[in-house]
Each structure stands twice: as C-alpha cells, then as structure tokens.
Chain A
Amino acid sequence: MSGRLQGWIVGAGALAAGLAALALGLQLAGYDAAAALGALWSGAFGSWYAITSATLVRAVPLVVIGLGLALAFRAGAFNIGAEGQFYAGAIAATWLGLHAGSLPAPLAVAVVLSGALLAGALWVAVPVLLRVRYGVLEVISTLLLNFVAEATTSLVVQGPLQESQGIYPQSDAIAASARLPMLPGTRLHGGILLALAGAVLLRHLFARTLWGFQLRAVGLGPRAAAISGRIDSRWMAAAALAVSGAIAGLAGGIEVAGVSYALFQNLSPGYGFTAIAVALLGRLHPLGVLLAGLLFGALEAGAGAMQREAGVPAVAVYLVEAVVILVVLLAESVRRGGMTALAAIGSATGVARGARN
C-alpha cells in the first residue's frame, strides 16, 4: 500500500473514531446522538450556503495560520503564540480599516492586510529577539504574549478603538473599501484565495527552493545543518518564527476585513491554538494543512448547527478534534513499526516493556 493511501485511511479512520467517540458520549449523556450528528453534517456540508459560508469561512483562518506554523515547526521553532499574533494583526487591521475610507478599494484592502502582516511580525519580534539574544524557549515566550495580546485587545476596544457611542466593548465597522470582496450570495470572502495561494507558495518553497531545503534541514537536525557550514540554524529558525508570526497576524487582518469588519474580544474562538493541531495533523505539508484546516473548519461550522438544532454544546467538537489527533498519533506510531497498539498500552503502564528498558 502506498504511503499516501495509508495516510488517507488513517485520516478517515481517525475521523470515524472521533465521531464515534462523540456519538457514544452524547448517547451516554442522554442526547439524541443521531440528531446531533445529522445537524453537524448539515451544518458543515448540508447546503451550498453551509459549505461556503460556514465551513470555508471557518477554515480560512485555520489554514492560513496553520501554513505559517507548518513553516515554523519545520524549522524547529515552536510558535504557540499564534493566537496573540492573530490579535495583533486584527488590532492593526481594524485601526487601518477605520482610517482607510478615502482610499480606493483594492488599495485599502492591501493597506489593511499588510498592516496586519506587519503587526504580527512585530508581535513575534519579541520572542524572536529573546530566542536569538537570550536563548529563551519560544514555546514559553510566545505563550506568555498570548495573554498580553488578549489584554491589549480588551484595552483598545474599551479605549482608543471603542465604537463612537462609547457603550459596547467593540470597534466601529471598518470602511467599506477596506473589506474583502465576497462570493455573491454567500459569506465567503477573498481570504480563501489567499489561503490557497499560501498553500501553493509554501509547497513551492519547501520543494523547490534552497531556503526551503535549508529550513527542513534545520528542523531535522540543527547540529548537522550547522556543521555542514552553510546554514546558520539559529537564524533560520528565528526567521521561520518571524514569518509564522507575520502570517498569523495576516490571518487576524483577513478575519477583520472579511468576516467581522470590527474588533472585539473573543474575535478568535481559539484559532491560534486549533491551528497548531491543524499544522501538525497536516504533517506540516501544505496540502495536508489545507485538508486538516477544512476538516476542522467543517467540524466547528457543524458544531454551531449542532448546538442550535440538537441542543448539544458546540464545544463538544473539540473532543472530536482531540480524538482525531490522538488516533493519528497512535496510528503513525504503529506505522513506523515502533510498536503495536497493544505494546504501547503495555509499555505506558510499565508492564510489558518496563523491565527491559
């Protein structure tokens, strides 16, 4: 069996396991599991509107952030601050969007999105600097900055960017010319094209460019890459971290310019965190990230319908996402020939292998 086919089978199996776990849990908790899964399906894929306006809209930020994270993870830089970088981008995009009314449409959009990109880059510049200059693990520094970004968002929507009446903790709507174009009859915005273009670009980068090759080399073995004498591991990883932050900022800008048109707290339902799972589930391949982003986008879109129509809390889909990830991890371990699932259980409990190791 080819590796690619196996990958598909594992993915499908993992999804089935996740949905089965959800159905079982819901049945045990006294919900109508069949109705819930039906609502989940129809909310994600039941109609043209559901596909375009729920699933794809939800998938765009996951794919965009996920692509950036795939780049960073490939270079061995663990950026788990995408949530914060997303907010930095969203704040910049909102501020620019509120002031870009006099510019013609394509230019205003370009200004808003580049501002978001820049803001994401600036936000991640702190962890980049801390890593290069002081050796601080970016896992920790990017994480801490998430909290700072959330507090900053709260601050600006009750301060400088608060709507003109000064009552609600949110901004005014951005100028019409700063908004992304939409597919008529749907809520699908131009961000989807950016997501697709990003995937193609990243694939080209990984497969065809020297930089992409060096990046992968650094991720696979920083010492070997350094010893070869042509690659500066530290700078490669730092650069990848910076780019991933900029892209997460861009995703924040796309969300403001394409979906919300305004800034408020909880603009992101945890996109920055879910995108980590998307990147890793997609095995850091651009196409994989695209598919994983679509899958998680569909699940989260369907979750809304599940809550409305079957009374099941939308957060229940996070359980599905978790099971999908864990099953893929276990399956990969079996596929590597590392061990069988049974041996995995035995060794984790220390029964089967504890004595030998």
Chain B
Amino acid sequence: MEPVALAGGFFAAAVRVATPLLLAATGETVTQRSGVMNLGLEGMMLAGALTATLGATGSGPWTGVGLAILAGILLAGVFALVTIGARADQVIAGTAITLGAVGLTGTIYRQAYGAGGAGLELPTLAPIPVPVLSTIPVLGPALFSQPAPTYIALLAVPVVWWLLFRTRIGLALRATGETAAVARAAGVPTRLVRTAATLVGGGFAGLAGATLVLAQVGTFAERMTAGRGYVAIAMVVLGRWHPVGVAVATLVFGAAMALQFLFQTLGLGVPYQLFLMLPYVLALLALAGVVGRVRAPGDLGKV
C-alpha cells in the first residue's frame, strides 16, 4: 500500500479507536473534577453497549444511542445514591457497579439472543463526511469522515472546557472537587453538584458504549468493553483533569492502539501481543513523566 493511504488509514483507525475512550474520559473528567472517582465507568459503558444493541435491533441506531445514554445515567444514579447519598466508599461502589453490569448484561444478552449470539447484524452509524474538509489528504478522512459520535466527542471537549473554566457552574463544580467543605460554606449545594457531575459522566459512558457497538465493532459481545472504562479513567489522570489534556492523551492512546493494525498490514514478524501491551506501557511511562508535577482535585474520592 502506498504511504499516504497507509498513513490515512492509520489516523482514521486511531480516531475510531479513541472515540469511545474520549467520550467516556470527557465525562469522567467532569465527574472527577467534582471530587468523585467513578470506577463503575466500565460497567456503565458495558450497559450502554448492550442497550444500544437492543435499541438498534428494535428501532434503529439512534434509538440505541438514546437508550444507551439513559442506561449510563441510570447506573450512575445507583452509584450516586450509594456514594453521595449514603457516603459509601467510591472504589468499592464502583467495583460493585461494574460487577453487577457484567452480570446483568451477560444474562440479558443471552436471554435476548441465545447462548451463541454470534452473527448479530446491527444497523450501524455510517460515517458522515464533512464537505471539503474530508478531502484533506491523510487527516481529512481521519477527522472529518467519521460517524456522528466522533463529532460529538470532539465538540464535547471545548464545551466541557468552557463549562468547567468559564461558567459559575464550573467554578462551583471545581470548588466542590477541590475542598467540599469550603464550597459548602460558600453556599454551593455540593451533593447536588456531585450527583449531577456523576450523572453526566454516566451519560457519556453510556454513549461511549453505544459508540463501541454502533460505530466501531458492529455487534455486542459479553464483556466487550474489555477494560476501556478503566483506561478512560487513566486517561483523565494522564490528561491532568483538563478536557484538552484528556483529549490529547486519548488520541495518542488511540494511535498506539491503532499501531497494531498498521503493523499487521505491514506484516512484520513481531508477536501481536507486544502491540496489545504497547499503549498501556506508553501510558505508564507518560504517567511517570507527567503526574509528579500535577495535583489531583483535593477532595477526589473523599466520602
């Protein structure tokens, strides 16, 4: 294959792989900025993936997307009830949510599609080329000829940045995450803020799950999120809790994931597992370089 086509394919794959991570990580940035660490993200993505499948087979991909967002919000509501309402530990509650989602989605999936389940034909979200921009060589197809969720994800980055850093709501949210006691004294309804931020994160996670099914894989499989929710949390830390930083981290991670496709095409005799582990190793190295100089929101994870 000629280099330009190869590079174009690589960047397109990178963005495609990064999109669900970017959506989930952007939502989690909002959640963590309010002081809540949501380890149930993985489960919320998984729930989104299944409801998207059910909705799409029933009445089209956009119904699937809507249901997935609702499913994410619903699970986030349970998480908020336990962690913010009852002040329970966030790590354990998040672990429980993910565990429950694995059980629930596996059971419903088998009930709905049988134990085999393979060969599920889903109506998917087709790429929407942006006129003119999509014809730019290499980067055009990567950024401007993608399914709708990619555009949503890319738009969400500046919107979330603006919300967090240029509005009173954002100020209240960051203050809640930094020092809840002070925010409360200043009249911020901190529990309401945290609940809202958690629900927003859940909605994004649901959308991320839908994207995985309807714009990337094209079918559902049990535990198909395969840790992407956890990776999204790592991306939030790597991106220093800043929407733009998180977006950069996610895209770089997506590129590292897409490397395996590129190298498969090139046919080098390197075991594919090395490429499977490469993104995670890179993320660890990047964390070592980045994190020491940045501080997490002060009240992150505190009950």
Contacts and interface: CB of A to CB of B under 8 A. Distances in A.
A108 interface: no
A357 interface: yes
A329 B95 contact: no
B283 interface: yes
B100 A144 contact: no
Given A273-B95, A326-B93, A347-B191, A144 B283 contact: yes
Interface residues of A, number: 67
Given A141-B284, A325-B95, A329-B82, A317 B271 contact: no
- In this complex, which of B95, B99, B104, B108 has the most chain A Cβ atoms within 10 angstroms of its Cβ? B99
A134 B292 contact: yes
Contact of A147 (B77, B108, B277, B287): B277
Interface string B204-243: 0000000000000000001000010011011001000000
Given A326-B82, A357-B190, A29 B108 contact: yes
Given A144-B234, A354-B192, A329 B88 contact: yes
A140 to B, nearest CB: 5
A147 B110 CA distance: 26
A78 B91 contact: yes
Contact of B89 (A280, A315, A338): A280
A122 interface: no
Contacts of B103: 315-322
B122 to A, nearest CB: 21
B110 A313 contact: yes
Contact of B102 (A144, A318, A355): A318
Chief secondary structure at chain B's binding surface: helix
B184 interface: yes
A322 B100 contact: yes
Given A321-B103, A329-B89, A145 B191 contact: no
A286 B95 CA distance: 20
Contacts of B189: 350, 354-355, 357
A155 interface: yes
A17 interface: no
A317 B100 CA distance: 9
Nearest to A143: B230
B111 interface: yes
Contacts of A104: none
Given A135-B292, A333-B87, A357-B192, A322 B287 contact: no
Contact of A152 (B110, B195, B273): B273
Contact of A319 (B100, B190, B195, B273): B100
B14 interface: no
B113 to A, nearest CB: 12
Interface string B235-276: 001000000000000000000000000000000000101101
Nearest to B295: A135
Contacts of A332: 88
A158 B192 CA distance: 52
Nearest to A25: B107
Interface string B61-85: 0000000000000000110111011
Interface string B273-294: 1101100110110011101100
Interface string A108-128: 000000000000000000100
Contacts of A148: 277, 280-281
A313 B191 CA distance: 38
B138 interface: no
Nearest to B110: A313
Given A147-B277, A315-B103, A321-B99, A338 B86 contact: yes
B271 A155 contact: yes
17 contacts: A31-B111, A80-B39, A137-B291, A139-B37, A140-B234, A143-B233, A273-B95, A276-B91, A280-B92, A280-B95, A281-B92, A313-B106, A313-B107, A333-B86, A348-B85, A350-B191, A357-B190
Interface of A: 25, 29-31, 78, 80, 126, 130, 133-137, 139-141, 143-148, 151-152, 154-155, 158-159, 273-274, 276-277, 280-281, 312-313, 315-323, 325-326, 329-330, 332-334, 338-339, 341, 343-350, 353-355, 357
Shortest 4 CB-CB contacts between residues of A and residues of B: A322-B100, A318-B103, A348-B85, A315-B106
